Amino acid sequence: MKNSLLDAFQIERKKSSLNTLTDYEIFPDKKLLDDLRTRIVENIIDQEIPEEQNLTDFINNEIDKSLEGYDLSNLERDHLFNLIDNEINGYGPLTELLEDKNITEIMVNRPDEIYIEIDGKLVKDESISFINDEHIIRTIKRLIEPLGRTIDATNPMVDSRLLDGSRINAIIPPLSTKGPVITIRKFKPTMTNIEDLIRIGTLTPYMARFLVAAVKGKLNIVVCGGTGSGKTTLLNILSSCIPDDERIITIEDAAELKLLQNHVISLETRTTNYKEAGEITIRDLVINSLRMRPDRIIVGEVRGSEAFDMLQAMNTGHDGSLTTLHANGAADALNRLETMVLMSGLDIPVPAIREYMENAIDLIVTIERMNDGKRKITSIVELDGFDEDRIALKEIFAFHQKGLTEQGEVDGEYILYKKTPKALKKIVARGINDLEDIFSRSKN
């Protein structure tokens, strides 16, 4: 339930410029703030609020009772009012961070150590705090209970998605030795199409046209990059280019892909229950998806034994499959895939695995978070036969960094290589003939 409390709150939060007052600038006495907050929360949090009573009046009355004997300014009282409203109507200290569209990631390490990511850069948020570890755990439970998830000493880790699509990971003792930790990667609905990526400089219009044609032409594509590089966002945007008349099956640990096509089946893994039973893995879902008559299979991230099954799907008529992989570049991605297949327990010689990969994968797209926090596609390569016993990689597009500007922004240029890629033949074979002008303008 929302009310006018936030509208009446006197302190305007301006997260994009980090121009906020902190809890302890308003309440220099940290102990007093935590004591008052604890007392009010304990008085209110478990009470049944009569249906006929106005929530604002109820909170006001409880705060008045809890603050008897304390001489507080209007600013201090309004601040307490806002904190308590967030406890009842929102998610405690995280409420305003979750609502702020400029913030892409929230990390709670300790009650008074909260980091946020804005424009690709991590900043310690001094404006808010939790009371103690129990307060963090209570907030975690508030976040995950609507999802049907629990967290306690016997189940001390949860990885799921919030109702808005944001990804939450929480871990508590005994697995976390210093107390409960929360990591939330927020879903950004503003990044929905490839024009958005062009606008922010992630890729060039030529690269965008090529990737859209590659998806429509049913090339098998692996997106790779490091943590927080934007792999899932790019995968979501590429997947949105799939024609609407195809049956798409997505497979993820926590469903983050937001496809708008008519015929989309979303599958999500399941962890073990308290009896250590009932787990459904990515591999289980990939194998099952092959029996569901897919036109496209999209795996949110390949990181284990499912790698072989994904390659097998790509090799057996499921063209146009897409996935992501945690790797620093195309060569690293192939090495990781090879290792995953070897660790799957299948008795397959290395040369056979490499041949399988070369036949299955058409393109590897690398995306990076640069030093200035911006994301860029730094390489698009195709697999081009073998160089002795190694898979040969041929770069089609690349971003070459020259350095940093005086403002600290990455300075560089996008390169389009001259040789026409063999991938173009596959795209043309699918009836897509509007890329010739791109490669006639390319350079060494």
Tell me the pLDDT tens digit for each residue of 307-352.
988 898 888 888 999 999 999 999 999 999 999 999 888 888 999 9
Q: Quick one: how far is CA 369 from the chain centroid?
A: 13
Dihedral (Cα; 147, 151, 155, 161), 10-degree rounding: 40
Dihedral (Cα; 336, 340, 346, 350), 10-degree rounding: 10
For residues 321 and 376, membership in a common domain is answered with yes
Are 219 and 323 in contact by the 8 Å Cβ rule? The answer is: no
For residues 257 and 348, membership in a common domain is answered with yes
DSSP H/E element including 6: helix 5-8
Last residue of a domain, one of 71, 89, 107: 89
For residues 263 and 338, membership in a common domain is answered with yes
| pLDDT for 110 beyond 60 | yes
Q: Which domain holds residue 253?
A: 194-440
For residues 144 and 262, membership in a common domain is answered with no
For residues 179 and 272, membership in a common domain is answered with no
For residues 238 and 105, membership in a common domain is answered with no
DSSP H stretches of helix in 248-403: 282-289, 306-315, 330-342, 350-360
The backbone torsions φ and ψ at residue 398, rounded to the nearest 5 degrees and listed phi first, read: -155, 155
Query: What pLDDT, on the 0 to 100 scale, is given for residue 11?
Result: 31
Tell me the pLDDT tens digit for each residue of 377-408.
999 999 999 988 899 999 999 999 998 888 88
Tell me the pLDDT tens digit for each residue of 358-383.
999 999 999 999 988 889 999 999 99
Q: Could you give the percent of the chain with pLDDT greater than 90?
A: 45
- Distance of alpha carbon 209 from alpha carbon 193, whole angstroms: 12
Tell me the pLDDT tens digit for each residue of 243-269.
999 999 999 887 778 888 999 999 988
For residues 43 and 109, membership in a common domain is answered with no
Identify the band that residue 22 occupies on the pLDDT scale cut at 50, 70 and 90.
low
The whole-number average pLDDT for the span 67-78 is: 77
- Distance of alpha carbon 97 from alpha carbon 90, whole angstroms: 11
Query: What pLDDT, on the 0 to 100 scale, is given for residue 444?
Result: 42
Q: CATH number for the domain including 156?
A: 3.30.450.90
Query: What pLDDT, on the 0 to 100 scale, is given for residue 442?
Result: 52
For residues 208 and 318, membership in a common domain is answered with yes
For residues 73 and 204, membership in a common domain is answered with no
Last residue of a domain, one of 136, 163, 187: 187
Last residue of a domain, one of 166, 187, 208: 187
- Distance of alpha carbon 388 from alpha carbon 367, whole angstroms: 28
Total tally of structural domains belonging to the chain: 3
Query: What pLDDT, on the 0 to 100 scale, is given for residue 13?
Result: 37
Phi-psi region of 389 (alpha: psi -120 to 50; beta: other; left: phi over 0): alpha
Tell me the pLDDT tens digit for each residue of 224-249.
999 889 999 999 999 999 999 999 99
Query: What pLDDT, on the 0 to 100 scale, is given for residue 347?
Result: 85
| pLDDT for 7 beyond 60 | no
For residues 5 and 43, membership in a common domain is answered with yes
Q: CATH number for the domain including 355?
A: 3.40.50.300
Q: Tell me, what DSSP letter sits at residue 92? A: G
| pLDDT for 443 beyond 60 | no
- Look at strands 167-171 and 157-161 and give their pairing: antiparallel
For residues 362 and 295, membership in a common domain is answered with yes
443 vs 147: which has the higher pLDDT: 147
Query: What pLDDT, on the 0 to 100 scale, is given for residue 409?
Result: 87
Q: Tell me, what DSSP letter sits at residue 47? A: P
For residues 40 and 77, membership in a common domain is answered with yes
